[in-house]
Each structure stands twice: as structure tokens, then as C-alpha cells.
């Protein structure tokens, strides 16, 4: 690991081994207590993963690795929010189907996530544009329709001709311009489908206090609920989940009897702007009277697509149910959701609504899908605006991994600031070099004294005055509470203390082996590649990511009673 090339080869070696051994796949059924951890899944785009994405993902990965070390059966999946205007616009510009755009970008995202060492269970990956997924999105729509929660109505809407979409109020600035493209907007009359979410306003407000969310987010959602309007869920586009409705001149609106209503494939030519332009798509037969009828030409909004996705991860391949009862009962609710506060009034609210409806319909035993939420702060780019592709200020994680390695990037992202704090990303090369130096200090400590020949397993106990044990309570408290910045502060303090101790007096080899075994297990969630490499170099048995979490009284190795949270 003396050169960058050696470092990148080492990281790739361990990633390949973890993938070959399918090290991070969740088990069901299983007797262990479960822990379901979730990131807000992204829209794959040409830009690839940014450091803003990765600041979210790395923190959750640290908690996932910590949870496995505690003995939990961890479900930590990832998927793709694949429908929407971004992929459709790129497909139109490039002259290819949107599905091809998504396949290309999703593969890029997955490769970059794997390079960063994110321990997702890829066997459960889902894609909202897959018919096997949106079949059940349509099923959920029809459930709402049967329960009287879907209706159509004409409204005056703000329209962006450049983006070819109806805009929400929050997507329009004070000068009546589109926040996405900066162009002027106009007003149109649009007939749309709505969800009667206002019927749940009181219940959504009443149960908010019981959630372990940041106080500011609960206040934000409560304010939004005080002025809530029904949820517009239909769009006049091509790339989306087709509404599963049929319009008959005689019988009126009917539910499509067979799901999925498939999005029509395109044989070539220009991409249609909506489903009405696809020859033959709207022509069908009324399931009630058998006479000619028309399919609805709308698609569902991407927010509707993702409102229930957390349930599908439990059984992503089921063709009989959107989510199997036993698996959903075991995994739900999500134990920790990590993301940005910008979803408080949209994605989080709609997921809460979906959970309530499904519980009332008897499909779930609990109503709240996300009882605990950890907020990640905004990352601002060089122009002091939120880091997004549309603001042309994205810093790609691939560039930084190529330059410094994945573990140094992880170290730096975790040590920037408290989870919920916003940060300005400027020229951070010096700080990333500093992160690399911290990792080299751990390498130095690991190689300082040789491991005894018989120390395949480190000693089970250490003297109570061992300096490593003195840091464990603070480290355990910080990671348990998802205060990862504080965890990094304590971890760096421990490394400095061990360097001082090692220079002051040479410890006995057996004791140093035990001390290092604790240090490396504390390092493993943060720098998983390096921790695995050093664990093997010391000659310790097994993978470090299969070792139990150290507790205050002693360093546990082998098959101990795992420490509770």
C-alpha cells in the first residue's frame, strides 16, 4: 500500500471477495433480531454519484456494518427511482429509449457504490420502471381507487414548456420561473387524477409526535399538513407507470382487469411526449360490457412510484403479492431511514400515508414505515448552491476515489461535520490527503509490533487500564446515536493516544494484539477495505466484518453473546 496503485488494488481485491462470498445478503427466515436500514434511493443520471449522494450513503453503511457486528440480521438494500423527466429528456436528446438510459446509468451507479465499499444487498435491488415492480404500483393505485381515495378534477396549473411538465408550487421561483431550467412558465387548465390525502391530515398530524425524527422536520411537516391539498399523481408523459384505468362511453371509468398495464415498447423513431401518441396503446375493450373503450393516457408521478418501495425490498421477486405477509411482518418497519430534509413534505409524507392505508386495509400490522429518521445536511458546490446536476456544480465521487482511494473518501465524508449540518464543498484535496494520513497512522500502528505466532485469535480479555477500553463507551454511544462526526473525533483521539502509548513503552505482544483487534474492529465500519487488509496481515482468523463489536468489559472474539444496542 505504498503507492496509490497498490491501495486501489487492495480495495478492489476485498470488494471482489465480498461480492463473491455474497457477504452482505440479508437472510429470511432467521432467528436473529432484524435491523432494516434504508437510504433514499436515487434517480440514476449521467453525472454519476456525487459527493452529496455519498455523504448520505456512507453514514448509513457505517451503521449497517456496526449493526452486523452487533449480531443483527441486517437488510440494507438499494434500488433505482427510474421513471421521470430526467431520463426521458436525455433519451429524447440521444435518440434512444429511456429504459436504455436507465440501464446504463444504474450500472454506473452500482459500480461506483461498490467501489465506495457500500455494503448493499444487491440481490434485492429494484427498479421502479421494471414491470415486475410497477405492476404493484398499479395494484396500490387500484386499492386506493376502490377505497374512494382517487378522483379526477380540472385545475389551473403552472406549466413549463421547456421541461414539458406541470410544476408544483415549490418548483416555481418568486419570478414565476421554473426552478429546474430557469425558464418562464405559463398557466394552463389540466385535468388530473388526485389522491384524497387530506382525508388523513388529522391522523398524519396526530401520530407525528411519536416519531424519532429531528424536531425541525416534524415542525416542517406539521406546518405543511396545516395547509395540505390533495395529492396530484397523474402526468401527461410517456416515461412512467401507466394509470391502470379504462374509460368506457357506456360504463364509465373501469379498473384495468390485468396487471401490469405495460408501458409500450418503442421500435424506433422519435420518443412520444405522452401515451396518447403511441399508436394503439389507448385502444382496448371495456371489461364490463365488451365494447370498444380507451385506456387512460396518463402516467403516475414518480412520487407515487416510490411511496411504497420500502415494502418491496422485503420480497422483491414475488409475483403473487407486492410484499409477502411474513417477510413484511419480520422486516417492517424500517429501523433507520437516512436522507435529506427536502423530502419531509413529499416522499416521507406520502410513504406515511401509504403505510396508513395499507394498515387499514389489513396488509400491514403497523402504520408508520419510518419511526426513526436521520437527517443529512445539504452539500453546497463551488457556487454556494445545492450540489445538483442542474446547477452545474457536481463533484464526482469517482474522481476522488481514483485519486485517494475509497477508504480515505469515506473517512473524510464522515469527519466533515455533524450529520444534519450543511457544508460547502470547495477545494478539499488537502483535507482528503489528511484523511489518507490518518489511515497510514493505523497502518503504522498495525505494523509496529509483530503478532505472536499463536495469536490467530486475539486475547479475549485485556487489562482494565488498557487505553483502548477507555474509549469504548464514547465510541459506542456516538455510533449508536448515529452521531458519526463525534465517532470520528473519538476514533482519531484513540489513534493519537495509541501512538503516544506505543512510543512511550513497548507493550507486550499479546496485549498489543488485543489492542489492535479492538482498534481494527472500530475502524472497520469507517474504512472497511483497510481494516480487512490489516486484520489479515496480522494473521487473525476470519473476516473482520464477521467479528463481533467490542464491548466495554473486554475484547470479544469468536462466538460471544453479542452486545445489544
Q: Is the peptide bond before 12 cis (omega within 30 degrees of 0)?
A: no
Predicted confidence (pLDDT) per residue in 136-158, tens digit: 999 999 999 999 999 999 888 88
pTM attached to this predicted model? 0.92
Mean pLDDT computed over 184-200: 92
CA-to-CA distance for 357 and 140, rounded, in angstroms? 10
Residue 224 clears pLDDT 60, i.e. is over it: yes
Dist CA 255 CA 275 (whole Å): 18
Q: At a CB cut-off of 8 Å and minimum separation 6, what does 57 contact? A: 39, 113, 116, 118
How many CA atoms lie within 13 Å of 313's alpha carbon, on the beta-carbon side?
A: 31
pLDDT greater than 60 at residue 562: no
**Could you read off the pLDDT of 336-395 as tens digits, one per residue?**
999 998 889 999 999 999 999 999 999 998 899 999 999 998 888 777 777 877 777 788
Res. 456 pLDDT band, cuts 50 70 90: low
Higher-confidence residue of 273 and 290: namely: 290
The matching CATH number, chosen from 3.40.50.740, 1.10.10.60, 3.40.640.10, 1.10.730.10, for 431-546 is: 1.10.730.10
Radius of gyration of the chain (CA): 26
**Domains 4-122+310-400 and 133-302 are alike in CATH topology:** yes
Q: Report the pLDDT averaged over residues 471-494.
A: 96
Residue 166 has pLDDT above 50, yes or no: yes
> pLDDT tens digit string along 48-83?
898 888 999 999 999 999 999 999 999 999 999 999
Residue 451: pLDDT band (50, 70, 90) is low
Among 242, 375, 369, 244, CA closest to 308 = 369
Segment 171-180 shows an average pLDDT of 85
CA distances from 505 to 284, 497, 500, 501 (A): 84, 12, 9, 6
In sequence order, the 6+-apart residues with CB closer than 8 A to the CB of 384 are: 424
Spell out the CATH class of 4-122+310-400: alpha beta
If phi > 0 it is left, if psi is from -120 to 50 it is alpha, else beta; for residue 421 that is beta
What's the CATH number of domain 133-302, 3.80.30.20, 3.40.462.10, 3.30.450.60, 3.40.50.620? 3.40.50.620
Domain-wise residue ranges, the chain: 4-122+310-400, 133-302, 431-546
3-state helix, strand, coil in the chain (%, to 5): 45, 15, 40
Q: What pLDDT, on the 0 to 100 scale, is given for residue 69? A: 97
Residue 274 has φ and ψ, to the nearest 5°, of -155, 175
Strand partners, 127: 80
Tally of helices (H runs) and strands (E runs) in the chain = 18, 19
Terminal Cα distance for the chain, rounded: 35
Which of 489, 504, 488, 501 has its CA nearest to residue 462? 501
Long-range pairs, 24-27, Cβ under 8 A, ≥24: 24/64, 24/74, 24/76, 24/119, 24/120, 24/121, 25/121, 25/123, 25/124, 26/73, 26/74, 26/75, 26/76, 26/77, 26/121, 26/124, 27/73
Q: Is the pLDDT of residue 476 over 80?
A: yes
552 close to 473: Cβ distance less than 8 angstroms: yes
Supply the DSSP symbol for 376: -
Collapsing DSSP states into helix, strand and coil, what is residue 395? coil
User: Pairing mode, if any, of strands 245-248 and 252-255?
Assistant: antiparallel
How far apart (Å, rounded) are the C-alpha atoms in residues 195 and 352? 14
- 558 vs 193, 454, 548, 555, CA distance in Å? 58, 15, 8, 10
Which has more confidence, 464 or 458? 464
Distance, CA of 88 to CA of 101 (rounded, Å): 8
Amino acid at each position: 500500500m505504498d503507492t496509490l496503485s497498490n491501495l486501489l488494488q487492495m480495495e478492489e481485491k476485498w470488494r471482489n471477495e465480498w461480492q463473491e462470498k455474497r457477504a452482505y445478503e440479508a437472510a429470511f427466515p432467521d432467528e436473529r433480531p432484524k435491523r432494516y436500514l434504508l437510504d433514499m434511493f436515487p434517480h440514476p443520471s449521467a453525472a454519476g454519484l456525487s459527493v452529496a449522494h455519498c455523504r448520505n450513503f456512507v453514514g448509513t453503511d457505517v451503521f449497517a456494518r456496526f449493526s452486523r457486528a452487533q449480531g443483527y440480521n441486517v437488510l440494507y438494500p438499494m434500488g433505482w427511482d427510474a421513471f421521470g423527466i430526467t431520463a426521458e429528456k436525455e433519451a429524447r436528446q440521444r435518440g434512444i429509449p429511456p429504459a436504455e438510459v436507465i440501464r446504463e446509468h444504474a450500472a454506473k451507479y452500482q459500480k461506483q457504490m461498490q467501489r465506495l465499499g457500500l455494503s448493499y444487498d444487491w440481490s434485492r435491488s429494484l427498479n421502479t420502471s421494471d414491470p415486475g415492480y410497477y405492476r404493484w404500483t398499479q395494484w396500490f393505485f387500484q386499492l386506493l381507487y376502490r377505497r374512494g381515495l382517487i378522483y379526477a378534477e380540472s385545475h389551473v396549473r403552472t406549466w413549463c414548456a421547456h421541461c414539458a411538465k406541470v410544476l408544483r408550487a415549490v418548483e416555481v421561483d418568486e419570478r414565476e420561473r421554473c426552478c429546474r431550467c430557469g425558464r418562464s412558465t405559463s398557466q394552463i387548465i389540466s385535468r388530473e387524477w388526485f389522491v384524497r390525502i387530506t382525508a388523513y391530515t388529522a391522523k398524519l398530524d396526530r401520530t407525528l409526535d411519536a416519531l424519532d425524527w429531528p424536531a425541525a422536520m416534524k415542525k416542517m411537516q406539521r406546518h405543511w399538513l396545516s395547509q395540505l391539498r390533495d395529492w396530484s399523481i397523474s402526468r401527461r408523459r410517456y416515461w412512467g407507470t401507466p394509470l391502470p384505468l379504462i374509460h368506457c362511453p357506456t360504463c364509465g371509468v373501469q379498473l384495468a382487469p390485468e396487471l401490469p398495464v405495460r408501458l409500450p415498447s418503442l421500435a424506433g423513431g422519435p420518443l412520444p411526449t405522452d401515451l396518447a401518441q403511441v399508436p394503439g396503446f389507448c385502444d382496448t375493450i371495456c371489461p364490463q360490457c365488451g365494447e370498444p373503450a380507451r385506456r387512460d393516457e396518463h402516467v403516475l408521478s414518480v412520487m407515487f412510484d416510490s411511496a411504497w418501495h420500502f415494502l418491496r425490498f422485503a420480497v422483491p421477486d414475488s409475483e403473487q403479492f407486492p410484499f409477502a405477509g411474513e417477510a413484511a411482518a419480520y422486516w417492517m418497519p424500517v429501523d433507520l431511514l437516512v436522507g435529506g430534509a427536502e423530502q419531509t413534505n413529499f416522499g416521507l409524507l406520502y410513504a406515511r400515508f401509504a403505510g396508513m392505508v395499507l394498515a387499514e386495509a389489513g396488509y400491514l400490522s403497523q402504520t408508520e414505515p419510518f419511526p426513526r429518521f436521520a437527517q443529512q445536511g445539504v452539500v453546497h458546490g463551488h457556487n454556494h448552491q445545492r450540489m445538483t446536476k442542474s446547477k452545474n456544480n457536481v463533484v464526482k465521487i469517482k474522481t476522488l476515489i481514483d485519486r485517494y482511494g475509497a477508504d480515505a473518501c469515506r473517512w473524510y465524508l464522515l469527519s466533515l461535520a455533524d450529520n444534519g449540518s450543511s457544508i460547502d464543498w470547495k477545494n478539499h484535496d488537502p483535507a482528503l490527503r489528511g484523511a489518507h494520513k490518518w489511515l497510514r497512522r493505523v497502518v503504522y500502528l498495525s505494523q509496529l509490533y509483530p503478532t505472536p505466532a499463536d495469536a490467530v485469535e486475539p486475547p479475549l480479555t485485556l487489562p482494565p487500564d488498557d487505553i483502548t477500553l477507555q474509549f469504548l463507551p464514547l465510541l459506542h454511544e456516538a455510533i449508536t446515536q448515529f452521531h458519526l462526526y463525534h465517532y470520528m473525533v473519538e476514533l482519531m483521539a484513540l489513534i493519537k493516544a495509541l501512538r503516544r502509548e506505543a512510543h512511550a513503552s513497548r507493550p507486550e505482544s499479546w496485549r498489543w494484539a488485543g489492542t489492535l483487534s479492538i482498534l481494527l474492529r472500530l475502524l472497520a465500519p469507517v474504512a472497511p477495505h483497510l481494516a480487512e487488509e490489516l486484520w489479515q496481515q496480522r494473521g487473525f482468523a476470519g473476516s473482520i466484518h464477521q467479528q463481533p463489536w467490542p464491548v466495554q468489559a473486554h475484547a470479544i472474539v469468536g462466538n460471544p453473546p453479542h452486545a445489544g444496542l
